[in-house]
Amino acid sequence: MDKKLAEIRKRVPALSLQVAGRDLVYLDNAATSQKPYSVLQMQTSLSEAASGNVHRAIHRLSVEATEAYEAGRAAVCRFINADSVILTSGATASLNLLAFCFAERYLGPGDKVLLTEAEHHSNLVPWQMACARKGAEVCFLPIDESGEPDLEVFARSLDSRVKLVALPHISNILGVVNPLEEMISIAHSRGIPVAVDGAQGIVHAKVDVQALDCDFYAFSGHKIYAPTGTGVLYGRRSLLEEMPPYMGGGDMVGHVSYGQTTYNELPLKFEAGTPNFTGAACFAPALTFASELREDAELQAYGRKITEYLMEALPTIDGLKLYGVPKDIGRKSGVFSMTIEGTHPSDLAQLLDQMGIAVRSGLMCAEPFVSKYSQTGMLRASLLPYNTMDEAEYFVQSLRRAVKMLR
């Protein structure tokens, strides 16, 4: 196992960096992933090669650019079992597109959009904005520290005014896989579509949008080894066709006259302007890497062991409280948020940085939820399959040491 992991880590150059004179222990993967050579090389080679723009010209360079872009899209489709996807600049862009266009078509005065209490701002603010525009209302399904939604409460929340449920597959704080299948089937039984913020879900869970039967699924490329500035919005065709476009401009048009415009077919209707085609092309190697790690049963089992270790070891630190502790530990993914009595998370993160460990501290783009539990923010460590048990153990030791220094 050690040898296999060492091999994998060698393919991700950032993992061999030194910080504060020590080997970097990168535990801020929920913020962004480190990229493998295969992705970095494709990025460089596409940048070094002469550029043609996509979907435009007849010349060779343009054709090659289009092919690379569409190969990226095809890789995404295979990865989540979708027939087609809209490519965007990230999860935030996907969710804003969705909120705007869905509201234009489907929301009116008195309607409601149901979110959970544990949303990332990117799946909260766009809905607030859209609902404010349409005279609709955002409401929230309660989530407690266990991180598990109460399905009965959920079912009861779905009155006839609710026009959409939008929730995370895995919250970036709680790290608990939401019971999407059950929730989607409950919502669908009332005729309510479900949008999934998959920014973390795509990284930690297997996603098959058809088996899930979700109506929308959004995620970023950079959290799953692709370059920054890449993102995806999957949407059910029948809904997307009804929705008006988001931005106007090149590539999203059918015919344009001075008086009016008809729109291109899906997905291009939602892809105005020159896209980040070099970035999107890198979805192919990025998702190949992700699949390789995901399909390795030994590596997966090892990852489960690290999660179990952390769930057991972290609470032995005096005053430490974990958020996202599901009854079934099988639902916990590699995202661990905590507060520790008598310490400020930014102090902890600062000391851990001096020990070579990268973790996140603060409100974690989920201010309402974090504020509910803490005055000062939380500390979060998050894993990817390239992390090792040694790193997890070193993190726990170092955290213990940091807490001691601060008290």
Partner 1 sequence: MDAPTKTIKELSAEVVEEFAVFDQWLDKYEYIIDLGKSLPEILPSDKVDANLIAGCQSRVWLACRCENGRLWFTADSDAIITKGIISLLINVYDGQKAEEVAASDFGFIEEIGLKENLSPTRAGGLAAMILKIKTYAKEYAQG
Ligand X SMILES: Cc1ncc(COP(=O)(O)O)c(C=O)c1O
Q: Residue 349, interface with partner 1 (CB under 8 A)?
A: yes
Smallest gap from residue 347 Cβ to partner 1 (A):
5
Distance of alpha carbon 136 from alpha carbon 118, whole angstroms:
20
Smallest gap from residue 168 Cβ to ligand X (A):
5
Contacts of 67 (CB under 8 A, 6+ apart): none
Contact partner at residue 350 from ligand X, partner 1, none, CB < 5 to 8 Å by partner kind: partner 1
Q: Residue 393, interface with partner 1 (CB under 8 A)?
A: no
Please list the alpha-helical segments (H only) found in 191-260. Answer: 201-204, 209-212, 237-242
Q: Residue 41, interface with partner 1 (CB under 8 A)?
A: no
Which of residues 90, 193, 235, 279 is near ligand X by CB under 6 A?
90
Distance of alpha carbon 399 from alpha carbon 393, whole angstroms:
10
Smallest gap from residue 119 Cβ to ligand X (A):
8
Contact partner at residue 357 from partner 1, ligand X, none, CB < 5 to 8 Å by partner kind: none
Q: Residue 230, interface with ligand X (CB under 6 A)?
A: no
Q: Residue 337, interface with ligand X (CB under 6 A)?
A: no
User: Scanning residues 171 to 190, which ones bind ligand X (CB under 6 A)?
Assistant: 172
Which of residues 150, 213, 296, 353 is near partner 1 by CB under 8 A?
353
Exposed (0-12), middle (13-18) or buried (19+): which is 263, by Cβ within 10 Å? middle
Q: Residue 168, interface with ligand X (CB under 6 A)?
A: yes
Contact partner at residue 347 from partner 1, ligand X, none, CB < 5 to 8 Å by partner kind: partner 1
User: Scanning residues 287 to 346, which ones bind partner 1 (CB under 8 A)?
Assistant: 343-344, 346
Which of residues 238, 262, 316, 375 is near partner 1 by CB under 8 A?
375
Smallest gap from residue 377 Cβ to partner 1 (A):
8
Question: Is 6 or 405 the residue whose CB approaches partner 1 more closely?
Answer: 405
Contacts of 198 (CB under 8 A, 6+ apart): 91, 168, 169, 207, 217, 218, 219
Q: Which of 161, 165, 191 shows the shortest CA–CA distance to 178?
A: 165
Distance of alpha carbon 26 from alpha carbon 30, whole angstroms:
11
Smallest gap from residue 128 Cβ to partner 1 (A):
24
CB atoms within 10 A of CB 4: 12
- Where residue 53 falls (left for φ over 0; alpha for ψ -120 to 50; beta otherwise) is beta
**In whole angstroms, how large is the CA radius of gyration of the chain?**
22
Question: Is 122 or 387 the residue whose CB approaches ligand X more closely?
Answer: 122
Q: Give the SS3 label for residue 343.
A: coil
Strands of the 216-220 sheet, one edge to the other: 86-88, 231-235, 216-220, 194-197, 162-168, 112-116, 137-141
Sequence-ordered strand ranges (E) for 89-130 = 112-116
Q: Residue 33, interface with ligand X (CB under 6 A)?
A: no
Only segment of 70-78, 120-128, 149-157, 272-280 that touches ligand X (CB under 6 A): 120-128
Phi, psi dihedral angles at 254 (to 5 degrees):
-95, -80
Q: Residue 18, interface with partner 1 (CB under 8 A)?
A: no
Tell me, yes or no, if 77 is annotated catalytic. Answer: no
Contact partner at residue 197 from partner 1, ligand X, none, CB < 5 to 8 Å by partner kind: ligand X
Tell me the two tokens of residue 372: 């509910």
Which of residues 144, 362, 373, 400 is near partner 1 by CB under 8 A?
362
User: Would you report the helix, strand and coil content of the chain in percent, each value rounded to 5?
Assistant: 45, 20, 35
Residues catalogued as catalytic: 365
Q: Residues in the site for ligand X, rule: CB under 6 A?
A: 30, 90-92, 120, 122-123, 168, 172, 197, 199-200, 220, 222, 365
